[in-house]
Amino acid sequence: MTTDIVTPTRGKYDNVSVSQRIERLPLTSFQRFLSFCIFVVAFFDAVDMGAMNFLLPVLAKEFHLTSITTGLLGSIGLAGMLFGALVAGPLADKIGRKTVLMWSIVIWGIAGFGLAAAWNINSLLGFRFLLGLGLGASYPIAITLLPEFLPTQARGKYLTVLEGLAPIGVICAGLITALVLPLVSWRWVFVIEAVPSLWVFVIKRYVPESPRWLESAGRKEEANRIMDNIETEVQKRHGQTLPDIENTAKVEPVIEKASFTELWSKTYFKRTIMLWILWPATMFGYYGMNIWLTQLLVAKGFTIIKSINYVLLINLGAIPGVILTIYLIERAGRKAVLIVALIGTAFSAYYYGQATNMTTLISFGLSLNFFTWMMWPSIYAYTPELYPTRMRGTGCGMSSAVGRVGALAGPYVTGVILTTTMGQSMVFTVAAGTFILAALAVIFLGPETKGRTLEEVSS
C-alpha cells in the first residue's frame, strides 16, 4: 500500500467534487491505515511535549534554575509552538499539507537530539524552542489533513481519537522518564523520544497529499488521480462495487488563495472570535497548571520520582474521558460535549488547588484529567470543521498560534504567582477562570457541526 497513483479515466469525474467522492466511500482498513499514520505523529508530538513536564525539576536542579527561569524553560517551547503554528497553517494552504507535515517532523527530531546534547541553559532553551517550532507546526497540520480524507460520519470520531492519543503520549513520557532516570542520565529520555521522528519516511511513502486541498488549489487532475487510487484501495478492501454519486452537477475548481482577512469576513467573524477566545483561554489554564504539576508536588515535599508517579496516576483519568468523548462526539455534538468538558475542567481545577491531603489531591486530579481530555479532543475535532478547505490550514494554524500565546504566558504567570504570597491554590483558581471564559465563548458564539459535511459547515 503506497501513495503511487493509478491512471484515471480522463474526464470521468470532471462533474463531481472530491467531497462527493469521499462522502460515498465506506470506511475500510485503507482509511484506517491513513489515519493511523497521522495518529502516530500526534502521539509522539504528545510524548515529546509531555517529557518536559516530568523533566523540569531534574533540569532545574542540573542547571541551578530559579523558579522564574524554570518558568521560562517551560514557556520557551510554547513560544516555538506559536511561531510554528503561525507559519505552518498558511504554508499548508499554499504548498500542501503533506510537505509541511513532513518538515515539521524532521525539525522536532533534530531538536530532540539537540536537547539530549544540551551543554548549558542557553543551548537547552534554544533546542527547546526548536522542538516547539516543529511540534507547533505538525499538530495543526495533522488535524487539518486527517478530516480531509474522511466522510462525515467518521470525521468527529477520528479527530477525537487523534487528540485522545495525547494523554496516552503524556503517560508514556512519564513512564519513560520514571524508568530511565534511575538507570542513566536524563539525556537518554530525549534520545528515546527523538528516534520516532524517523516516522517521516512512512508519511512520505504511504500518505498522499489531501485531494480536497489539491482541488481547492485548482489542481483537479491531481486530486482525481489520488481519489482514483483511494477508491481502488477502498473497493478492494470493501469487496463490493462503490455506490453511485448522486449529484453530478458541474463542479468548477476553486483557485482562491487563503487570506488572513477572510477569517474576519461576515461568514467567519463569530467563529474566529470564538476560537480566538477558546484556544488561548484553555491553553493558558492547561499549561499554567500542567507544566508545573511535578514541580508543585516536589514543593509539597515529595521526591522527584514519587511526584512523577503521582502525576502519572492522575493522568489515568484522561483515558475514560477520551473514551466517553469518542462515544458522545457524534451523538451529542461537538458544542455540547465541549461546554460540559470546559465547565467540568474549571470546577476540577479549582478544587484540585484547594486540596489539603493526598486523597483529595488524587481524586480531583483524576477528575481534572477526565474533563481536560474531554475538552481537548472536542476542541481539535471542532476547529478544522469551521473553515473551508482553501483556508482550513490558515484557520487552524492561526487559532493554534493565538492559543500558544496563552500557553506561553501560562507557565510564566504561574512562576510569578509562586514567588508571591498567593501560593499554589491561586494558580488553579486563575486556571479555572480561564476555562469558564472559554465555555462562555462557545455557548454564545459557537455553531454546531454534527452530521454536516465539511463543505456544509464552512459555507
CATH classification of the domain holding 140: 1.20.1250.20
Helix or strand (DSSP H, E) at 6 = none
| Within a domain: 131 | yes
Which pLDDT belongs to residue 453? Answer: 74
Q: Domain of residue 285: give its range.
A: 18-245+252-458
What tens-digit pLDDT sequence spans the chain (459 residues)? 454 444 444 556 667 888 889 988 888 899 999 999 999 999 998 888 878 777 877 888 888 887 777 778 877 887 888 899 889 988 999 999 999 999 999 999 999 999 999 888 889 999 999 999 999 899 889 988 999 999 888 888 898 899 888 888 888 888 888 888 888 888 898 898 899 999 999 999 999 999 999 998 888 899 999 999 999 999 999 888 877 776 544 454 555 566 678 889 888 999 999 999 999 999 999 988 876 666 666 666 666 656 667 777 888 898 899 999 999 998 898 999 999 999 999 999 999 888 777 788 889 989 999 999 999 999 998 999 899 888 888 898 899 889 988 887 887 788 788 777 677 778 889 999 999 999 999 999 998 887 777 777 766
Which pLDDT belongs to residue 167? Answer: 80
| Within a domain: 60 | yes
- Report how far residue 232's alpha carbon sits from residue 120's, in angstroms, rounded to the nearest whole number: 54
| Within a domain: 13 | no
**The dihedral formed by the CA atoms of 136, 446, 278 and 373, expressed in degrees to the nearest 10:** -80
| Within a domain: 10 | no
- Report how far residue 149's alpha carbon sits from residue 102's, in angstroms, rounded to the nearest whole number: 17
| Within a domain: 288 | yes
The amino acid sitting at 439 is: A
pTM of the model: 0.78
- Pick from 82, 153, 166: nearest CA to 374: 166
Cell numbers found for residue 451: 452530521
The amino acid sitting at 324 is: L
Number of domains within the chain: 1
Task: Report yes or no: 94 and 144 within 8 Å, Cβ to Cβ.
Answer: no
| Within a domain: 5 | no
| Within a domain: 7 | no
The amino acid sitting at 85 is: A
- Pick from 249, 244, 271, 210: nearest CA to 441: 271
- Pick from 358, 355, 349, 326: nearest CA to 414: 349
- Report how far residue 212's alpha carbon sits from residue 205's, in angstroms, rounded to the nearest whole number: 19
| Within a domain: 12 | no
Q: What are phi and psi of 226, to 5 degrees?
A: -65, -40
